[in-house]
Amino acid sequence: MKRPALFRTLAALAFTVPAVLVGAPAAHADPVSQTSGFYVNPQSSPASWAAANPGDGRAAAIRTAIAQKPMASWFGNWSGDIYGAVSRYVGAADAVDKLPLLVAYNIPGRDACGGHSGGGAGSVAAYDAWIASFAAAIGNRPAVVILEPDSLGDFNCMNQTKINERVGMLSRAANQFRTKAPHTWAYLDAGNPGWIDPATMAQRLNMAGVANAHGFSLNVSNYFTTGENSNHGNRIASELRRFGHNKPFVIDTSRNGNGSNGQWCNPAGRRLGTPTQMGGGAEMVLWLKTPGESDGNCGVGAGSTAGQFLPEVAYKMIYGY
């Protein structure tokens, strides 16, 4: 979508990021300066629930505090034709001059350690074809993509053959976005501050092709504070410079308002964090996990499945109880 020069100038001013947070110039054109803000999906699960339940006493709060905020949409083996699904979503954002946030979550052996979100593509070849279609569907339109949450943290639950396959898939995935989606910032996922130490994670990111990615992501679907993630991310970035990489990072702040209580699967008493924006302790802080969507059959989401929207959990997360 061609944008007037005034739009581009205003967007660039509104989304200026201090150079210290960005690191070296990105290989890709800046998708932020090409848009007028982040995309709010009118068909997200909290938006759809609020629209379908207007008489529910929780609906107004969920609509205002969650559904009207920019959040990522997740794509996986439930998405059907991935080219069509991604193209429609990115096209909807492009039509209103907004920047879409997408999460690719289809790596074979997905969630090897957690187990609640298992699945993924049926083979290495199937994944390679899937992610190639994902990148091609974005094409020249601006986007932000998070690649495969948990994939580099799960090594302790995998054998060496599976690790080697995964590193290869991630490296090829990063290259797909570099070559097919020149206005996309793609981030390899680097876990969270309570998982893998910075030196080890930097080694894994290097092996997984972070050279071809814009940067790395932290805290996806977790609860660690923004400050904890900023410190952790800066340490990973420092370690990455040993490999010759100067990479920025983003933080998932969707549910970190009260920090972590040591549990990751639907813990009680969590709260919304800072809404999606540039800066804030990283290149961007983003709502990547949709608040109110279950982590699985556990905690305050007992009896639910991963990804199911739970209005009572969402409502309590607004107020932190």
Average pLDDT for the chain: 91
DSSP 8-state secondary structure symbol assigned to residue 64: I
Torsion angle defined by CA atoms of residues 103, 229, 62 and 53, in that order, rounded to the nearest 10 degrees: 40
pLDDT for 29 equals 76
- In the beta sheet, which residues pair with residue 103? 74, 146
pLDDT digit string (tens) for 253-307? 999 999 999 999 999 999 999 999 999 999 999 999 999 999 999 999 999 998 9
Query: Hey, what domains does the chain have and what are their CATH numbers?
Result: 34-319 (3.20.20.40)
The pLDDT tens digits of the residues spanning 51-109 come to: 999 999 999 999 999 999 999 999 999 999 999 999 999 999 999 999 999 999 999 99
Under DSSP, the state recorded for 208 is T
pLDDT of residue 28: 64
Residues catalogued as catalytic: 150
Q: Which two tokens stand for residue 293?
A: 């969507």
Provide the phi-psi class of 124: left if phi over 0, else alpha when psi is between -120 and 50, else beta. Answer: alpha
Q: How confident is the model at residue 6, as a pLDDT?
A: 33
pLDDT of residue 118: 80
Query: What does the pLDDT average to over 144-162?
Result: 96
Is pLDDT of 17 > 70?
no
| pLDDT for res 119 | 87
More confident residue, 50 or 2: 50
Residue 184 and residue 144: Cα distance in Å, rounded?
A: 6
